[in-house]
Structure 1
């Protein structure tokens, strides 16, 4: 069985140490963190955000070590300018003033062109993206079609944005709702390579997308590295949730890869059913019912997680990740995902600033 590498891109919100609200201090944080991390720490759309990117690795243990190291460096760089990095899908508290767009030509063009969509999104949203490779575009597309029914389960496992604008949204992943206002966000379409290239070229030519990098399908061939990129997860303060996500994505990809290489047809799942499965994952996370995209039946989300782990088992076994994945999955199954932990902090303290403090502390003490 081919061993795939994994890499993680994490987005963080910078919050003021006193007010706990998002602050536009990314330029200062980046200038300091780059002395250690170089190009592995990057700008994001808003000046209240930063992004880190791990190097590709075959080892989940090495991946965790690198994630922890980068978070520690980022935390120290932020401390120097009186702020903290927080890994959550949406800011718990609103910014004191409207966030500013990062001053690059591409981000300025995006803000101008998509002003009607951008205007109703109240500040940063932060995701966690998993890359598996090395894969050519045609193989990545074949995997994206086969992984699509499992993406709502991964979304539920990583739901970590129940609060936004100082209120409980009623969703476990409010980031999913806000980010869906951007073009092409959603399940990956069933496309082979020629039709993919034609579809994306048309989206760019008609102005739906600014460029090829703006393809925001939940699973897509990356445009800058030879990988399949899974983009369905919230940013998570708990680093072991991120590592579990990476293990499951890689395990599932490796388990399904022989079907792609053998040319076996992918199962057909109606788009309406996939959309409903993602809606339920965003609303209830692991705490309620999800939708089995293959059968259309309502199923407890935790049971869908069990099925995902079983489906990924051949890939997990092949790289020695099974024990780690099972241990972390049982932990989440028992205690709940990030959204449940945020709400538990609020129930104990009745304070949203305590929720922010808990997220910030967990983010940098991996």
Structure 2
């Protein structure tokens, strides 16, 4: 079985060291970190965000090493700029002054075109994107279609944004709701290459999207590298969670690749059911109830994760990741998701600033 490469993009939040509120110091942080990381550190939509990108790797040890280096370097650069690097899907403590859009031509045009979606005080979200393999567009689209029913279970592992505007939202992943306001966010439609080209061109032509890079499907052919990009996860402070998700996604992709490459049709899942499965995964996470998109059954989310693990097993075995994934899943079940850990800190200390401090410490400890 093919062992696919994998890479990760992580978006991080910058918060003031004293107030723990989002602060727009990305230019200074990126300038300092880029001396070591080069183009592996990049801007994001708001100046209170930075992004770290790994190179493609073959193994989980190499992936962990790159992620740890990115986080250490960015944390040090943030500290030098008087702020903290925080891996969370949404800000725990709301900003005290309006957020600033990063000063690039594309981001300025996005802010003008979609002004109703760009709030000066909320809407800041940080995601973790996993890139798999090396595919042409047709191959990536075919594999995305086969992976669709399994992505809610992946999402249930990664909720790390329970707080927004200083309040508990009731969701494990409030990022899911915030980011979902943008056009095209959701499950990928089942399209061949020619259909995809016509559909995306029409979205741009009719000004639903500003450009092709604004296709925000949960599984999409990347526009800047020849990969399949999976976009369902919150950024997580716990590095083990990131490695777990990347290994699971790669194992699943490898296990489904033969069916996709042979031209077998992907499962026909009702769109409404698939969206409901994602919403339950975002709301309740690993500890709650989920929905199996294939059968329509309501099941414990953990049971759906076990089905995902079983489906990914051939790819995990081929890559030598089975034992690691099993151990990391046991640890996640024992210690709880990122959202559960954030809430546990608040219960112990009663202050949202302590939640931010715990997230920053975990992020830097990588």
Give the TM bin, normalised by the shorter chain.
over 0.9
Distance 1:263 1:200 in 2: 22
Residue 298 of structure 1 corresponds to which residue in structure 2? 298
Residue 247 of structure 1 corresponds to which residue in structure 2? 247
Residue 269 of structure 1 corresponds to which residue in structure 2? 269
Distance 1:17 1:219 in 2: 36
Q: TM-score, normalised by structure 2?
A: 0.99
Q: What secondary structure, in the 3-state scheme, does the structure 2 residue paired with 1:91 have?
A: coil
Residue 115 of structure 1 corresponds to which residue in structure 2? 115
| TM-superposed deviation, 1:335 | 2.2
After superposition, the C-alpha distances for 1:126-172 in whole angstroms (9 at most, x for unaligned) are 00000001111111111111111111111110011001111100100
Distance 1:327 1:211 in 2: 41
Quick one: structure 1 residues 121 and 179, their matched pair in 2 at CA, closer, same or farther if it must change by over 3 Å? Answer: farther
Distance 2:347 2:307 in 1: 31
Residue 136 of structure 1 corresponds to which residue in structure 2? 136
In the TM superposition, 1:1-366 aligns within 5 A as 1-119=1-119, 122-366=122-366
Distance 2:148 2:303 in 1: 18
Q: What secondary structure, in the 3-state scheme, does the structure 1 residue paired with 2:286 have?
A: coil
Aligned partners of 1:238 and 1:362 also within 8 Å:
yes
Q: Bigger shift: 117-126 or 345-354?
A: 117-126
Aligned partners of 1:48 and 1:99 also within 8 Å:
yes
After superposition, the C-alpha distances for 1:33-61 in whole angstroms (9 at most, x for unaligned) are 00000000000000000001000000111
Aligned partners of 1:172 and 1:284 also within 8 Å:
yes
Distance 1:221 1:296 in 2: 27
After superposition, the C-alpha distances for 1:4-38 in whole angstroms (9 at most, x for unaligned) are 10000000000011100000000000010000000
Distance 2:349 2:121 in 1: 28
Quick one: structure 1 residues 121 and 210, their matched pair in 2 at CA, closer, same or farther if it must change by over 3 Å? Answer: farther
Aligned partners of 1:121 and 1:178 also within 8 Å:
no
| TM-superposed deviation, 1:287 | 1.6
| TM-superposed deviation, 1:334 | 2.4
| TM-superposed deviation, 1:119 | 3.1
After superposition, the C-alpha distances for 1:86-139 in whole angstroms (9 at most, x for unaligned) are 010000001110100000000000000001122387141000000001111111
Distance 1:113 1:196 in 2: 23
Distance 2:84 2:263 in 1: 48
Distance 1:302 1:237 in 2: 21
After superposition, the C-alpha distances for 1:284-320 in whole angstroms (9 at most, x for unaligned) are 0112100011110110001111111111000000010
Aligned partners of 1:99 and 1:123 also within 8 Å:
no
Aligned partners of 2:88 and 2:126 also within 8 Å:
yes
The two structures, once aligned, show a CA RMSD in angstroms of 0.9
| TM-superposed deviation, 1:282 | 1.0
Divergent runs of 4+, >4 A? none
